[in-house]
Amino acid sequence: MFKQRIGETFHQGHCLDAHKYYGAHFDYESAPGVRFTTYAPNARNVQLVGSFNNWERPLNLERLSDGSWTVFVPDVAEWTLYKYKIEQADGNWVEKSDPYAFASELRPKSANLVVNLGNFPWRDQMWVNRREKYFDKPMNIYELHLGSWMKRDAHEWMNYEEIAHQLIPYVKEMGFTHIELMPLTEYPFDGSWGYQAHGYFSLTSRYGTPKQFMTFVDECHLNDIGIILDFVPVHFVKDNYGLRYFDGTPLYEYPNPHDANSQWDTLNFDLWKEEVRSFLLSSASFWLETYHVDGLRIDAVSNIIFWHGNKNNGTNDGATAFIRRLNYYLNVRYPGVIMMAEDSSDYPKVTHPTTEMGLGFDYKWDLGWMNDTLKYYSLDPVYRQFHHHQLTFSMAYFYSENFILPLSHDEVVHGKGTIINKLWGDYKQKFAQARNLYAYMFSHPGKKLNFMGNELAHFREFDENIEQDWFLLGYHTHHSFNRFFRDLSHIYKHHSCLSHHDYKHHGFKWIDADNASQSIYSYYREDEESVVIIILNMTPVSYESYRIGVPYKGSYTEIINTEKDIYDGCNMCNFEPLVSEKHEAHRFDNSILVRIAPFAGVYLEMKK
């Protein structure tokens, strides 16, 4: 009955459980052993080879009426290696990895392993039961590459359990709420960082076993840390042992070579094909169900929306139908799981419900905000008055989607320079403006995402072969910046007005958006508990008594200043509460006089 139900939904493109039928599964109904099943409708013959018989005497699989092939092998032990030998439609024989395998050999080897993913003693049920999408809560995401965040003896990969012991205390100390991991679906080339995968159900063996990764996720949840995985449903590697021409025909890729070949020298999934849709739906569901992952970040969404990611090529209607289906089904089955889009296009309704013909994502990366912000901060302050709109423009469109503000791995590779290296000025000025930049980021509406190293003020670009430059913390300036980042993260987490109304108009208000001549921005965030005034000075000019209009009369206390001495600043701060005066400014009846240091970012709070 289960097989019949899988078959019906699989061929209709609505299956989220194909991995429970296809792949290698322990079966004890008749005798102890493993059932191997794969889908290769155009193959002439499919055979199984493996370490269970020393890679000799291949076993023939039985062809089923729907194009599947299956065989039961008795007495197969866990961690047994296997592959398929396929006589393709043209008569050629090739060895292929199992598309539904749960584990694989470490590259450059390509055999799969039989593993049992059941019976793990999860302890995170309370977390899973109460997880949510964080629309009205702080979400501060730490994006990282698991193989180079920290290494054993600075050279060797740690396994998942070892990383947990180091990473979890650091993430908690730094005030992050979520960890986003670059892809862990098995992939052959280290330099692709996982974005060119072949094993869509296979956890990469680089860092250990599936049970070790379960331990990692479980420990994160017990420490109130969510896990988001990067997921790549657009394209896959061309390596011959993978999905490419699996049965001798374009089974997973588009039949038209122009559509099949991607800009990354990989192959695009044919997202019009129902069996491919079921394959990817099942893969996404697998990571959420099996590993208790809390969210998926879908890579290269613009290449789903438009043919080859180019708006001029037109909308790929079959692919957008797939992504709506993916988001709809995952939201129904896993209501608290987060789905986010890495999308550089201006396609509308990315985060609107599928019932409104939106794409159904919960969040979209605001890459426009990222580009405008980094361009502005790279300018000589003398010229910033002529580009004042680059920091105000985001609020003109912000409420059209549920945006995340990303300073991701894409911004610190390929000669682009790291975040601090992009900023204008000499060494000390770069640090002052980096603190200002993050004061801006953490007070702007929208959830936050930073790539590893941003919090250290990394000067070296990301390299997957080298661990983070942890030695930087031995230098006063970097240590002070790291402390600032930590303090700012905790202020963001514990002052609800900075996140509670991110996607509602009344949560953010400009005080003065138009002071281009002095390049000073002022605005406030508020909720039912408090209001926080934010002032950003984008020039090296200081002000001893700068008048700011305030929305309420009362006493305003400085809760963080980027120029405080503990952050290696000049210590020109507001050490006493600022009591408002009945003096009109910026269209408000009340105002305060504020000390503003060069390049300062100032937060002033008034409790309601």
- Active-site residues, by number, are 299, 342
Q: What is the DSSP letter of 581?
A: B
Type of residue numbered 594 = V
Q: Would you mind telling me the total number of residues written for the chain in this entry?
A: 608
Cis omega (within 30 of 0) on the bond before 108?
yes
Whole-angstrom distance, CA of residue 342 vs CA of residue 364: 6
Supply φ then ψ for residue 523, to 5 degrees: -160, 175
Q: Does residue 550 contact residue 592 with C-beta atoms inside 8 Å?
A: yes
- Sheet of 508-512, strand order: 508-512, 520-526, 530-537, 601-607, 555-561, 578-579
Q: Crossing angle, helix 476-494 and helix 427-443, to 10 degrees?
A: 10
Q: Does residue 469 contact residue 458 with C-beta atoms inside 8 Å?
A: yes
Tokens, residue 447: 């959830």
C-alpha closest to that of 21 among 45, 41, 44, 5: 5
Residue 430 neighbours by CB distance under 10 Å: 20
Q: Does residue 141 contact residue 177 with C-beta atoms inside 8 Å?
A: yes
Q: Does residue 93 contact residue 85 with C-beta atoms inside 8 Å?
A: yes
Q: End-to-end CA distance of the chain: give it in Å, rounded.
A: 61
Whole-angstrom distance, CA of residue 582 vs CA of residue 580: 7
Element (H, E) at 303: helix 302-305
Residue 199 neighbours by CB distance under 10 Å: 28
Q: Is 197 helix (H, G, I), strand (E, B) or coil?
A: coil
Q: Is 116 helix (H, G, I), strand (E, B) or coil?
A: coil
Q: Does residue 150 contact residue 467 with C-beta atoms inside 8 Å?
A: yes
Whole-angstrom distance, CA of residue 344 vs CA of residue 248: 35
Whole-angstrom distance, CA of residue 39 vs CA of residue 100: 10
